[in-house]
């Protein structure tokens, strides 16, 4: 029986930044010495570099991922493409931050079931949830797996339904089929995309940060104004906007880390492949490796009907795990009782069986050890 006296935390953000800590300190010093803390060269250059990386022509650095989603929806309202009461379809098992801006803007979220194969929106069922009030579909690339079906999305697009990507978890992922503008990269598949640089994300800042990506320059300029009090130039407010800017210091940190992202995503894919090769237990279902697409493994999520026992077993051997997400949005106290569709049962059942294994900071040896611990669980 393999025993471990080592401790493997689920995630260690010090470790995540260790490789580039010297360059992060240099970047901070550069910003401090520049005296420019908002709206300077770091943000401008980061926006260009990120647009290039994501294959999307327009990029706006913003305060965080939730605000990025809110800015996109609000900009569409500002330009008449969305109106209050319009329905936005979104997978019911997403993180609640996808849904909060929909509610805040008095749009109406419609919670559609996830596919039990890849945890993303079930494209075989999404059209059942369309009504005359449907104006947008939010594609959440959950756990780093691309959420895309070229045929269904083309039909939605042709009906004038807006496609917004919540790309908080999947920067650098590729869908198996091209998006509406021809790119396969998540963040460039639909009409507009939100990215989060929350410190735990694959590209994490050292604080909050986010970005909006779009192919639509008009949407981009509306968002740029909305994020800066609604001003299109100094002291000229065309919208009742917000303050949702990205800090120069976070942009400088992200410019250090963006060139390392492909290697980070590849390393995660290697750990995921090891788990996939080694984990063999009748009580455990491994996540699907999607053929033709590139997943970036923000999380490696297994399922087990005996999830809590398995979690305790790993914990007892020093292995930290997490659950994404233990309580689905529609059962949170702020939303409880507001959603009733019978298909929500599927999301609830999934939430009771999910378990996220360490993937961010572990090496091959540790992936072997964790796999062995899972295999001996009975
Ligand atoms: C992290 C996350 C967000 C929110 O991003 P913040 O930067 O924390 O505001 C939204 N949606 C999903 C799917 C996320 O994982």
246 Cβ inside 6 Å of ligand 1: no
> How far, in Å, from the CA of 202 to the mean position of ligand 1?
12
The H-or-E segment that residue 31 falls in is: helix 21-34
Per-residue pLDDT of the chain (378 residues; tens, 9 = 90+): 445 568 999 999 999 999 999 999 999 999 999 999 999 999 999 999 999 999 999 999 999 999 999 999 999 999 999 999 999 999 999 999 999 999 999 999 999 999 999 999 999 999 999 999 999 999 999 999 999 999 999 999 999 999 999 999 999 999 999 999 999 999 999 999 999 999 999 999 999 999 999 999 999 999 999 999 999 999 999 999 999 999 999 999 999 999 999 999 999 999 999 999 999 999 999 999 999 999 999 999 999 999 999 999 999 999 999 999 999 999 999 999 999 999 999 999 999 999 999 999 999 999 999 999 999 999
> How far, in Å, from the CA of 166 to the mean position of ligand 1?
8
Ligand 1 pocket test: pick from 71, 92, 169, 200 the residue with the most ligand atoms within 8 Å of its Cβ.
169
Give the position of tokens 């490789």.
19
Closest C-alpha residue for ligand 1 atom 2:
168
Give bridge partners of residue 305 from the DSSP assignment. Answer: none
Q: What are phi and psi of 71, to 5 degrees?
A: -65, -40
203 Cβ inside 6 Å of ligand 1: no
- Per-residue model confidence (pLDDT) at position 86: 98
Nearest to 167 by CA among 50, 77, 16: 50
- Strands annotated E in 192-345: 192-196, 210-214, 231-233, 236-237, 300-303
> How far, in Å, from the CA of 94 to the mean position of ligand 1?
10
193 Cβ inside 6 Å of ligand 1: no
Please check whether residue 237 is in contact with residue 230, taking contact to mean a CB–CB distance below 8 angstroms.
yes
Please check whether residue 137 is in contact with residue 192, taking contact to mean a CB–CB distance below 8 angstroms.
no
> How far, in Å, from the CA of 69 to the mean position of ligand 1?
9
Ligand 1 pocket test: pick from 198, 299, 323 the residue with the most ligand atoms within 8 Å of its Cβ.
198
* Helical ranges in 193-306 per DSSP H: 217-226, 248-257, 261-278
> How far, in Å, from the CA of 355 to the mean position of ligand 1?
19
198 Cβ inside 6 Å of ligand 1: yes
| C-alpha 41 chain-centroid distance | 26
- Per-residue model confidence (pLDDT) at position 1: 45
> How far, in Å, from the CA of 137 to the mean position of ligand 1?
17
Closest C-alpha residue for ligand 1 atom 14:
168
> How far, in Å, from the CA of 159 to the mean position of ligand 1?
28
- 220 by Cβ neighbours in 10 Å (0-12 / 13-18 / 19+) ranks as buried
Most distant CA pair in the chain: distance in Å?
A: 69
**Angle at the Cα of 224 from the Cα atoms of 218 and 228, rounded to 5 degrees:** 145
Q: Tokens at residue 180, please?
A: 């509406």
Length of the chain: 378
113 Cβ inside 6 Å of ligand 1: no
Ligand 1 pocket test: pick from 65, 69, 102, 322 the residue with the most ligand atoms within 8 Å of its Cβ.
65
DSSP string, 128-188: GG--TTEEEEEEE-GGG-----HHHHHHHHHTT-EEEEE-TT-TT-B-SS--TTS--BTTS
């Amino acid at each position: 029986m393999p025993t471990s006296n080592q401790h493997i935390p689920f995630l260690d953000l010090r470790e995540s930044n260790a490789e580039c800590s010297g360059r992060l300190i240099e970047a901070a010093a550069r910003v401090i010495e520049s005296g420019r803390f908002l709206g300077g060269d770091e943000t401008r250059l980061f926006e260009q570099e990120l647009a290039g990386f994501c294959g999307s022509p327009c990029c706006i650095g913003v305060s965080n991922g939730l605000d990025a989603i809110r800015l996109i929806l609000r900009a569409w309202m500002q330009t008449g493409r969305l109106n209050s009461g319009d329905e936005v379809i979104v997978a019911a098992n997403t993180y609640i931050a996808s849904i909060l801006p929909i509610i805040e803007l008095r749009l109406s979220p419609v919670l559609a079931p996830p596919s039990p194969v890849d945890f993303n929106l079930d494209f075989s069922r999404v059209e059942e949830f369309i009504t005359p009030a449907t104006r947008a579909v939010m594609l959440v690339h959950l756990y780093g797996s691309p959420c895309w079906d070229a045929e269904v999305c083309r039909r939605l697009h042709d009906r004038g339904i807006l496609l917004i990507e919540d790309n908080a978890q999947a920067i650098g992922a590729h869908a198996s089929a091209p998006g509406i503008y021809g790119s396969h990269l998540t963040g460039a598949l639909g009409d507009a995309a939100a990215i989060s640089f929350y410190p735990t994300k694959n590209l994490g800042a050292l604080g909050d940060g986010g970005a909006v990506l779009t192919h639509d320059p008009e949407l981009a300029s509306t968002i740029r104004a909305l994020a800066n009090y609604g001003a299109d130039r100094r002291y000229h407010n065309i919208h009742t906007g917000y303050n949702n800017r990205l800090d120069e210091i976070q942009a400088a940190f992200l410019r250090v880390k963006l060139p390392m992202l492909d290697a980070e995503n590849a390393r995660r894919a290697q750990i995921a492949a090891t788990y996939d090769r080694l984990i063999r237990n009748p009580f455990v279902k491994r996540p699907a490796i999607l053929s033709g697409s590139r997943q970036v493994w923000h999380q490696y999520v297994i399922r087990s009907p005996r999830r809590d026992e398995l979690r305790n077993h790993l914990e007892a051997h020093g292995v930290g795990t997490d659950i994404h997400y233990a309580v689905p949005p529609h059962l949170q106290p702020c939303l409880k009782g507001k959603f009733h569709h019978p298909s929500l049962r599927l999301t609830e059942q999934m939430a009771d069986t999910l378990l996220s294994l360490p993937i961010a900071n572990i090496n091959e040896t540790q992936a072997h050890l964790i796999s062995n611990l899972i295999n001996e669980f009975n």
